[in-house]
Amino acid sequence: MKNILSALFFLLFSCSVLGQTSVSQITSTAEFNNPLNNVPPEIAIIPEPVEVTKKEGYFVLPTNVTIQCTATPETHQVLTFLQEKLSVPTGSFVTSVSGKSESAQIHLLINDKINHTLGNEGYQLTVTPNHITIKANQAAGLFYGVQSLLQLFPAAIESKEPIEAEHSRSTEQIEWKVPCVEITDYPRLGWRGLMFDVARHFFTKEEVKQYIDAMVRYKYNILHLHLTDDEGWRIEIKGFPKLTEIGAWSVKKVGDFGTFPAPAADEPRNYGGFYTQEDIKEIVQYAKERFVNVLPEIDVPGHSLAAISSYPELSCTPGAENYKVRSGERIMDWSRGAPPIALVDNTLCPANEKVYAFLDSVITQVAALFPFEYIHMGGDEAPFNFWEKNEAIKALMLKEGLKNMHQVQGYFEKRVQKIVESKGKKFIGWDEILNGDMSPNTAVMAWRGMKYGIEAAKNKHEVVMSPTEFAYLDYMQADVITEPRVYASLRLSKAYQFDPVPLSVDPKYIKGGQANLWTEQVYNIRQAEYMTWPRGMAIAESVWSPPAKKNWPNFFSRVEQHFKRLDAAETKYAPSVYDPIFKVSRSADKQLLIDLSTEVSGLDIYYSFDNSFPDRFYPKYTEKLTPPKDATMLKVITYRGKNPIGRMMNMPIEELNKRAGRK
């Protein structure tokens, strides 16, 4: 019954779209995706393309498909990708030809004459009832055209299994059709990054590939791998076997990371892992075939406890021989802000020549393994308290005329930069590295806030914007009562406000933008996906689409279509955007007042105070609530019309009283 109804609905919906577009052509999905009319948008591409013109009719995928593709090694990757994407779910037989072909239905063509508007990554996609054509200057553009094309197919195109088998007992047959359209599209920025912290928790190479599969749907082109930290050293370095024999392993803990008691001496250190150099090559190749560059990060001089636990001589603090890879116990005191006070010395010693010899070996091997032109050398959150009392550091300061610890770090960064550049690579680090008076050829990743990126750009440094306020994917997406606890929040709507190119800077210094997934509280790949999507879509649109095209209600209507695509792909995402937002205050007579709202429009909130589970037959929230005298729990759930859409949230009244401050 449900299938027949949905088929009917689909028919009605298709007619209405056809009727609409036969009257006028439209140049933006924003114009025909009206999120308030409850009709799912038929064209829902993320990131929003530069220009979209809807045409009449549909291309229907035949059972035998021929793709004509300009023959180069790089276009071959695109062809293989599309062949697999089309043939697996649909069961169509997909072949290819390289020469001109009248019988081919799909054409992937490299322009003979450069189209300057498109640049290196842009594309033109034309869908007519008989043909699909993607044209680009380079193979990368064809790949992004393919991503947009796939998003025009029904969501089931994302299935990793043939759909027929699944649907054989139903009356519904998926029609693999694509609305006719003309799209011209190219990115706003060349650096569209996602950082994946594989150090705090280890993720296998297959999981990293899975992460890449998801990111390329949204036209990300840089995977920043945070390879080393206090909790693990994740890359094999020849000549330093202990980095992976000792440095890659901690004691398995689950719960609230950062609060665990220090492990006992006899607890097994068998949690973690690392990538062999062969694994790294495999990841880099997999990424390359999907037009993703891999940016390696070796985070020094702070965040280095795994390296020091392996080679204590890299520290200049007595007692480092007893240090162990961190298993989530408290090692920093942040109560006085940044830089933190270290409880164990997790810094490499800037006054120790062995450190630079070590880094030379590491960087030589990293430079050979990762073809990307940049190497990220961290530089964030280095605590100074152990350096301050160290005799070797004091002697270095005297010798080099360094006046304070920022200059000591600056001395270190300059030496590391020299090593990186000696391997033919560009040096990039977190924005603290600029405290040390670096030359303009130092690129920075601005994380502490947009203002650090703005300042760096004004000083003529290349900048990648990845500020906490918009782009930190480890932050909670909704209320702490439904999310794993982290110290800060970042809702989808806020992530969508990310503008990596502030008006006050010369845009030529802004290389791009990036979202960062730190994984202290992310214990598995499903949670990594949950934290990344849908906020990763918001960041993708912020770095790809023209700012004038950004529109929150329209974006969210597309996100909802992409939830179906991620369901089909079995990629996890957070439904947190549907959860109500709790605000509390007190009335003049000190009563608790509870204000409920939602991040997206068109939802109703139903609630109970009697511990039973509210549904749409319960009171609907319309104005601030005061709990009945003895109530202990407020339960809420959001609906869209008759359908529950948010999660059941159980909010203790005690918690709300705490948030409002005591009476």
In the complex with ligand ACM, the residue whose CB is nearer, 380 or 567, is: 380
Residues 426-455 that bind ligand ACM (CB under 6 A): 430, 447
In the complex with ligand ACM, the residue whose CB is nearer, 381 or 560, is: 381
In the complex with ligand ACM, the residue whose CB is nearer, 207 or 380, is: 380
Of these residues, 229, 231, 279, 299, which one is catalytic?
A: 229
Residue 197 annotated as catalytic: no
At its nearest, how many Å lie between ligand ACM and the CB of residue 431?
8
CA distances from 351 to 392, 399, 416, 636, 640 (A): 6, 11, 13, 58, 62
Residue 623 annotated as catalytic: no
Residues 480-519 that bind ligand ACM (CB under 6 A): none
Helix (H) or strand (E) holding 250: strand 249-250
At its nearest, how many Å lie between ligand ACM and the CB of residue 474?
9
At its nearest, how many Å lie between ligand ACM and the CB of residue 384?
16
Dmax (CA) of the chain? 82
From residue 392 to residue 431, what is the string marking binding to ligand ACM with x (rule CB under 6 A)? --------------------------------------x-
In the complex with ligand ACM, the residue whose CB is nearer, 107 or 303, is: 303
At its nearest, how many Å lie between ligand ACM and the CB of residue 525?
21
Nearest of 472, 437, 457 to residue 510 by alpha carbon = 457
In the complex with ligand ACM, the residue whose CB is nearer, 35 or 467, is: 467
Instruction: Look at the block and give the residue holding tokens 């035998």.
Output: 64
CA 512 to chain centre: 14
The Cα–Cα gap between 142 and 125 comes to: 9
Nearest of 195, 187, 183 to residue 140 by alpha carbon = 187
Kindly state whether residue 381 participates in binding ligand ACM, applying the rule CB under 6 A.
Answer: yes
Nearest of 604, 655, 597, 595 to residue 625 by alpha carbon = 595
At its nearest, how many Å lie between ligand ACM and the CB of residue 226?
9
At its nearest, how many Å lie between ligand ACM and the CB of residue 199?
12
* Strand, helix or coil for residue 631: coil
Q: Which of 51, 74, 289, 380 touches ligand ACM by CB under 6 A?
A: 380
In the complex with ligand ACM, the residue whose CB is nearer, 197 or 236, is: 197
Q: Are 102 and 186 in contact (CB under 8 A)?
A: no
Write the Ramachandran bin of 9: left for phi over 0, alpha for psi from -120 to 50, otherwise beta: alpha
Cβ-proximal residues to 528 (8 Å cutoff; 6+ apart), any chain: 196, 203, 207, 211, 517, 519, 522
Could you check whether the bond before residue 339 is cis, i.e. omega within 30 degrees of 0?
yes
From residue 518 to residue 557, what is the string marking binding to ligand ACM with x (rule CB under 6 A)? ----------------------------------------
Q: Are 196 and 517 in contact (CB under 8 A)?
A: yes
Of these residues, 381, 462, 560, 599, which one is catalytic?
A: 381
Residue 278 annotated as catalytic: no
In the complex with ligand ACM, the residue whose CB is nearer, 381 or 462, is: 381
Q: Are 378 and 303 in contact (CB under 8 A)?
A: yes
At its nearest, how many Å lie between ligand ACM and the CB of residue 466?
8
CA distances from 510 to 186, 192, 456, 546, 581 (A): 17, 11, 10, 15, 34
- Could you list the residues that contact ligand ACM (CB under 6 A)? 380-381, 430, 447
Residues identified as active-site = 229, 303, 381
